Structure 1
Amino acid sequence: MCAPTPVLSVRAIRLSAPGRGEDLQARISAPATGDNLPIILFSHGYGSSMDGYAPLTDYWAAHGFVVIQPTHLDAKRLGLAQDDPRRPLIWRTRVEDMKRILDNLAAVTRSVPGLEGRVDHGLVAASGHSFGGQTTSMLLGARMLGPDGEGEDMSDRRVKAGILLASGGRGGVDLSPLGRDITPYLNSGFDHMTTPALVVAGDADHSPLTTRGPHWFADPYRLSPGSKALLTLFGAEHMLGGISGYSVTETTDENPARVALIQRMTLTYLQNVLLDDATAWFSACQALATEVTPLGQVEGNAGG
């Protein structure tokens, strides 16, 4: 794996978003050198913002990716009231935020001095954690199912691959009473999620939103067609060892080695599916499988 390079980062880029209630803000981080750079569009978990998830976003940018992080309406810093009429449809607004950035990629990348002309706008992956994983899954083809079992197709062909980090599974009867109370709209279906993806799940992630336990987070892998891989992390809870920040209070399973594993596996996966470089991914999988005390295991097909 190549050595990391210095990273340039610009935050609070604003995109006009009529009907959203306020402009969409985003952060963009990119390597200081290199050309034909691929893009990762990252969706944060509930309550976070464009400034979260630095252990992942810094790493990806230092290893050759342009990382774009929008701040969704549920960010705590925006202070959206609980009775705000936009809340019930935040799941939809989040997907629209991601598409708005894709619609304005040229303007967004121009916001970083020296980046214009160095980005390959045809090589786009999307990633997200928790609620951000659900957002990302819809770009890959997952649908929010209505009472009739049908759901709108909000997928985007510009997104060539995805990484779902602790992303929830099926809704409906698989939700707990608490889940039905606070996320009544959550009813994901994965029958149409055909875009290649790496699903990352912790086997100790006991979410109060579901009655099924940690296996629920493997649904995007097990219930979707097409090329998928599953990285199961042993002993990992919802923050997967601390991916949401370098110094965060919400991490209950702090484990720098686990975070380092996620960094390596996600990077090599994207190099495989976006850049047709399978060597690093398969080497990383083999190394994990032969460890005396492995931190996780990989199953499935990672091909693009």
Structure 2
Amino acid sequence: MITTAVPVVSAKPVVLPAPGRGEDLLVRVSAPADGHRLPIIVFSHGFGWSMAGYDPLVDFWTAHGFAVIQPTHLDSRTLNLPPDDPRTPLIWRHRVEDLKRVLDHLDLAEAAVPGLAGRLDRGRIAAAGHSWGAQTVSMLLGARVLGPDGRPGEDLSDPRVKAGVLLTVPGRGGADLSPFAAEQMPFMNPDFTGMTTPALVVAGDKDQSPLTVRGPDWFTDAYTLSPGPKSLLTLFGAEHTLGGIAGYQVAETTDEHPGRVDLLRRVTTTYLRSVLDGADWPPSPDPLGAVESR
């Protein structure tokens, strides 16, 4: 639950110009009604979702002093992009560009919400994402996609992002992918060796994905294969929606657990405050999960 009730303001859709994308970028902007020098979280949704999802996270973060900006990527079911659309093979790249576009147009995001202008702190920006959104965010932190020749592709990292939160981020590609993933998602072949930005990786120890031939430890690769400083939160008993982060009582939640969601919200908030503001880390021990750092 949200332990601190504060008024929140939110606006959607906020339209950001996106030349070359095929259509403008729609985002949702949410923030506390009061306060100044608000740190910013840019959030990248999982496959098929949109700016309208992830209220259990957004409600908590905004109630605890963050402004949250949520773009709707081209794979969203709300846009219904046909499979044969020429943009489909490069949606992974469009996703990264969407997040950069948000950072490029923070003035427009501020102006869209009554009373928000001048209150965002551009020196304290974090990026967070779930599932495919976590892979998208990882590229802003320095991860790269390996090409067919095994060489890393373009560096799309962004120095404006000071911290990351990667929720169930896909792991290593190659032989670790299932045949379906290898055929349909060749971009799911990350190199984490250049992911130097501080990040918290969150994984469920019961998250068995059809995208890999490995077990739930696949979702910890971003922690084990990247240079520090990194932290890992393992949620006990959690599957891919980590207890229900995508929405309140949504059908895709297979492991609904309010206590697990609450732990994740508290730990992610504490982590971001530790990187952006120098607050204490790690958090207190909890029977629903474990934190390690290096």
**Contact 2:42 2:126 survives alignment (8 Å):** yes
Does 2:25 correspond to 1:24?
yes
Deviations 1:19-51 (A, max 9, x none): 111110000000011111000000000000000
Give the distance between the partners of 1:159 and 1:60, measured in 2 at CA: 17
Give the distance between the partners of 1:105 and 1:122, measured in 2 at CA: 12
Does 2:262 correspond to 1:260?
yes
> Who is 2:154 aligned against?
152
- Deviation of residue 2 (structure 1)? 7.6
**Alignment counterpart, residue 201 of structure 1, candidates 183, 199, 203:** 203
Give the distance between the partners of 1:12 and 1:220, measured in 2 at CA: 32
Deviations 1:162-189 (A, max 9, x none): 0000010111111011111221221111
Does 2:284 correspond to 1:286?
yes
Give the distance between the partners of 2:279 and 2:3, measured in 1 at CA: 13
Q: 2:169 is paired with a residue of what secondary structure?
A: coil
> Who is 2:75 aligned against?
74
Does 2:271 correspond to 1:299?
no
What code does the residue aligned with 2:17 have? Answer: S
What percentage of aligned pairs have identical amino acids?
63
What code does the residue aligned with 2:229 have? Answer: S
Q: Specify every segment of 5 or more residues in structure 2 that has no aligned partner in the other structure, as ranges.
A: none
- Deviation of residue 58 (structure 1)? 1.0
Deviations 1:110-158 (A, max 9, x none): 1111111111111100000000000000000000111222211000000
Give the distance between the partners of 2:181 and 2:204, measured in 1 at CA: 19
What code does the residue aligned with 1:266 have? Answer: T
| 1:34-73 mapped onto 2 (5 Å cutoff) | 34-73=35-74
Does 2:163 correspond to 1:165?
no
**Contact 2:16 2:108 survives alignment (8 Å):** no
> Who is 1:191 aligned against?
193
Deviations 1:210-263 (A, max 9, x none): 011101000000000020000001110001000000121000000000000011
> Who is 2:103 aligned against?
102
Instruction: Decide which moves more: 102-111 or 136-145.
Output: 102-111
Give the distance between the partners of 2:165 and 2:86, measured in 1 at CA: 30
Q: 1:266 is paired with a residue of what secondary structure?
A: helix
Q: 1:78 is paired with a residue of what secondary structure?
A: coil
Number of residues of Structure 1 aligned to a counterpart in Structure 2: 292
Give the distance between the partners of 1:40 and 1:145, measured in 2 at CA: 27
> Who is 1:291 aligned against?
none
Quote the RMSD (CA, aligned, Å). 1.2
- Deviation of residue 265 (structure 1)? 0.3
Q: 1:10 is paired with a residue of what secondary structure?
A: strand
> Who is 1:83 aligned against?
84
Q: 1:180 is paired with a residue of what secondary structure?
A: helix
Give the distance between the partners of 1:105 and 1:172, measured in 2 at CA: 37
Deviations 1:249-296 (A, max 9, x none): 000000000000011000010111011111xx43xx3232xxxxx111
> Who is 2:114 aligned against?
113
Q: Pick the structure with more helix per residue.
A: 1
| 1:265-280 mapped onto 2 (5 Å cutoff) | 265-278=267-280
What code does the residue aligned with 2:34 have? Answer: T
**Contact 2:170 2:188 survives alignment (8 Å):** no
| 1:208-227 mapped onto 2 (5 Å cutoff) | 208-227=210-229
Q: Specify every segment of 5 or more residues in structure 1 that has no aligned partner in the other structure, as ranges.
A: 289-293
Deviations 1:188-212 (A, max 9, x none): 1100000000000001000000011
Instruction: Decide which moves more: 147-156 or 7-16.
Output: 147-156
> Who is 2:140 aligned against?
139
What code does the residue aligned with 1:272 have? Answer: S
Give the distance between the partners of 1:286 and 1:26, measured in 2 at CA: 34
